[in-house]
A and B are shown apart, each in its own frame.
Chain A
Amino acid sequence: MASTTATRQREAVDPSVRCGQWLNAWAPWIVILGLGGWAAVARTDQFVVGIIIGTLYALAAVGLTMIYGITNVPHFAHGDSMMMAAYLAFLVFAGAVLGAGDGDAVLPINVAMLPGATERIWEFSFGYGLILALVIGVLLMIPVYLAIDRVVYQRLARMGAGTAILAVASLGVAITIRGAMLMVWGPTSRRYTTGIRDTIQIPGLPRIVADQFFILVVAIGLTVAAYVVLYRTTLGTTMRAAADNPDLARASGIDTAVTRRWTWIIGGGLTAVAGILLALQSQLTPELGFVLLLPIFAAMILGGIGNPFGAFLGGLIVGVVGEVSVSLGIISPGYKTGVAFVVLIVVILFRPRGLFGAKA
């Protein structure tokens, strides 16, 4: 008798429990779509700029969340490595490095020398040479990631280093990378291209710089590609398995050293592209990397560590919130990235594992 009553009571509570679960699952979406929709209508210009910046944060945050999720390295060198990739692409493109006196020393071989390499494509400010430099820059950056992982992070991990030690080590890597960039390219800012930046009109949208359209398309395309790799291929499944439960992954015959390498190749590759696109959108300075770190970490944590989809959305949110809140006059532009932290704190108060935290 007693047990039947207990069962009935549980059934009686059930609908409200289910309602709570439903709210819990959908509340982030309701808030995001509500506020995002409002921003898109009432602050269209800033919303669009925010989305463009946001896709870059998103791309880098997807890389970061993969790296952190699978290798357990809270990669504080992320922003500086983005800049490093941008400078490598710059080197490939213009061949310029810091000279002895005034001005640059220019390497005799560079992509911009190729015939027609700087002739503008469509309305873009650049020609095929920059796209080539982007690809080569990423291909050069990937071995750098792999070398850093092998020399620093893997060695520390083998010695039993925890997250805190890896974090400090990655901070050291960040400072090293920044120092190297300062030595080779100097502190002054540089640009891939100088001429006028044409704007384009896409129906239903405000005018945007054509280069930004390129950025948007590449960033979204690569994020979709990363998603397909992670969720539709065996390699991706093994990567997610290794992130979820490394011991069990090994017990299933997965060589976690291989998954780790692929994580740096794919996650690092995305990050490198993000860095180069960001430099195309603004400029190259060694200092930019550290500034980037804040919004990118915010994006990753917002989305739930180890969740690429969440990191992507987190990047968009951070981008839009920054731009829109400046336009509302709430804050001065200098504090743009600070707003991301306010959002982050609010979200974490309600959802300690982020909007789409993987682990319950």
Chain B
Amino acid sequence: MSPPPPPVLSVSGLTSGYGEVPVVRDISIEVGASEIVTIIGPNGAGKSTVLKAIFGLLRTWDGQVQLDGTSITGLPPERLVRQGIGYVPQTENIFSSLTIRENLAIGGFTRATGLAERIDWVFALFPVLAERPNERASRLSGGQRQTLAIGRALMLEPRLLMLDEPSASLSPIMLQTVFENVVEINRRGTAILMVEQNARQALSISHRGYVLANGINRLTGPAADLLASDEVRRLYLGE
């Protein structure tokens, strides 16, 4: 019997923040290969902070972060993208003065080979981007921007894709599309760690979930259990 494969991402005891005050404390998160994991929680709970700390945009004050069993604690973003993490920030997640094609080319900037093929791969996944590849990204609609942002992060074929509120401020139809895209990306072999305000829809496509409140892990479990939990329904699903 071989031991089970290590999770793609394993965070234990993570503490981080801005300036002097820790914003998130003692956070532990695991994302298994081929899993979709969602972090939910109220505004200001520290969800974005967790992703930024994992991605090296904030200093890790305490705790460990491992990717496929190897420590990546404290590595800067430009190293982490090369190691297989894709990250889509909550805001300003595209280069608005660049064209669609240039956005994708920048996403695949560190590729040694196959840049054109990978751009075609993203175009095939998101045909809406292929319609006007030389359009400036600033001219795209909200949903198209979000699609481009995800496409950019997929350019390096990440093993883990981290999405910070991919459905924020989208129309219900676009929101549906974005979640369908997430499922499709996951089906093609990328593990997903996502932060979401639309907790119900996000949990319904996820395998597991974490509830964050005031910078600490309140609850964790299979997505279906969280959806069924009275506490979650009352506090975070507005029922």
**Which residues of A are interface residues toward B (Cβ below 8 A)?**
234, 237-238, 240-241, 243-245, 247-255, 306, 358-360
Beta-carbon contacts under 8 Å, B128-174 to A: 138, 152, 156
- Flag if A253 contacts B82 (CB, 8 Å): yes
- Flag if B109 contacts A252 (CB, 8 Å): yes
With a 10 A CB-CB cut-off, give which of A237, A244, A252 has the most chain B CB atoms: A252
Q: Shortest beta-carbon distance, B49 to chain A, in Å?
A: 14
Interface of B is mostly: loop
Residues of B within 8 A of A244 (CB): 95-98
- How many angstroms from the CA of A359 to the CA of B136 in the assembled complex? 11
- Flag if A250 contacts B76 (CB, 8 Å): yes
Q: Shortest beta-carbon distance, B87 to chain A, in Å?
A: 5
* A251-B55, A252-B106 known, 19 other contacts, Cβ within 8 Å: A234-B105, A238-B109, A240-B95, A241-B98, A241-B106, A244-B95, A244-B96, A245-B96, A247-B89, A249-B95, A250-B78, A251-B77, A251-B89, A252-B81, A252-B107, A252-B152, A253-B156, A358-B97, A360-B96
- How many angstroms from the CA of A255 to the CA of B82 in the assembled complex? 12
B93 at the A/B interface (Cβ < 8 Å)?
yes
- How many angstroms from the CA of A79 to the CA of B192 in the assembled complex? 51
- Flag if A248 contacts B109 (CB, 8 Å): no
Q: Shortest beta-carbon distance, B112 to chain A, in Å?
A: 12
B239 at the A/B interface (Cβ < 8 Å)?
no
| Contact residue among B97, B102, B110 (Cβ-Cβ distance under 8 Å from A253) | B110
- How many angstroms from the CA of A238 to the CA of B108 in the assembled complex? 11
* 16 A–B pairs (Cβ distance < 8 Å), ordered by A: A237-B106, A241-B98, A241-B102, A241-B106, A245-B92, A245-B94, A247-B57, A248-B92, A248-B93, A250-B78, A251-B77, A251-B87, A252-B81, A252-B110, A253-B78, A359-B97
Residues of B within 8 A of A253 (CB): 77-78, 81-82, 109-110, 156
Residues of A within 8 A of B102 (CB): 237, 240-241
- How many angstroms from the CA of A254 to the CA of B105 in the assembled complex? 12
Residues of A within 8 A of B81 (CB): 251-253
Interface of A is mostly: helix
- How many angstroms from the CA of A241 to the CA of B104 in the assembled complex? 11
Q: Shortest beta-carbon distance, B1 to chain A, in Å?
A: 38
- How many angstroms from the CA of A241 to the CA of B105 in the assembled complex? 10
Residues of A within 8 A of B76 (CB): 250
- Flag if B96 contacts A359 (CB, 8 Å): yes
- Flag if A237 contacts B110 (CB, 8 Å): no
Residues of A within 8 A of B105 (CB): 234, 237
- Flag if A247 contacts B92 (CB, 8 Å): yes
- Flag if A248 contacts B156 (CB, 8 Å): no
- How many angstroms from the CA of A360 to the CA of B87 in the assembled complex? 25
- Flag if B92 contacts A237 (CB, 8 Å): no
> 8 nearest interchain CB pairs?
A253-B110, A253-B81, A244-B95, A358-B97, A241-B106, A244-B97, A250-B77, A251-B77
- Flag if A254 contacts B106 (CB, 8 Å): yes
Residues of B within 8 A of A252 (CB): 81, 106-107, 109-110, 152
Closest Cβ neighbor of B99 among chain A residues? A237
- How many angstroms from the CA of A252 to the CA of B156 in the assembled complex? 9
Q: Shortest beta-carbon distance, B92 to chain A, in Å?
A: 6
Q: A253-B156, A358-B97, A360-B96 are in contact. Are A248 and B110 (CB under 8 A)?
A: no
Residues of B within 8 A of A251 (CB): 55, 57, 77, 81, 87, 89
Closest Cβ neighbor of B105 among chain A residues? A237
Q: Shortest beta-carbon distance, B138 to chain A, in Å?
A: 5
Residues of B within 8 A of A250 (CB): 57, 76-78
Q: Shortest beta-carbon distance, A227 to chain B, in Å?
A: 15
Residues of A within 8 A of B78 (CB): 250, 253-255
- How many angstroms from the CA of A20 to the CA of B30 in the assembled complex? 52
- How many angstroms from the CA of A38 to the CA of B80 in the assembled complex? 57
- Flag if A249 contacts B92 (CB, 8 Å): no
Residues of A within 8 A of B77 (CB): 250-251, 253
Closest Cβ neighbor of A306 among chain B residues? B97
- How many angstroms from the CA of A248 to the CA of B81 in the assembled complex? 11
Residues of A within 8 A of B152 (CB): 252
Q: A238-B106, A254-B106, A255-B78 are in contact. Are A248 and B96 (CB under 8 A)?
A: no
- Flag if A240 contacts B109 (CB, 8 Å): no
Beta-carbon contacts under 8 Å, B34-62 to A: 55, 57
Q: Shortest beta-carbon distance, A360 to chain B, in Å?
A: 5
Q: A238-B106, A253-B78, A253-B156 are in contact. Are A248 and B89 (CB under 8 A)?
A: yes
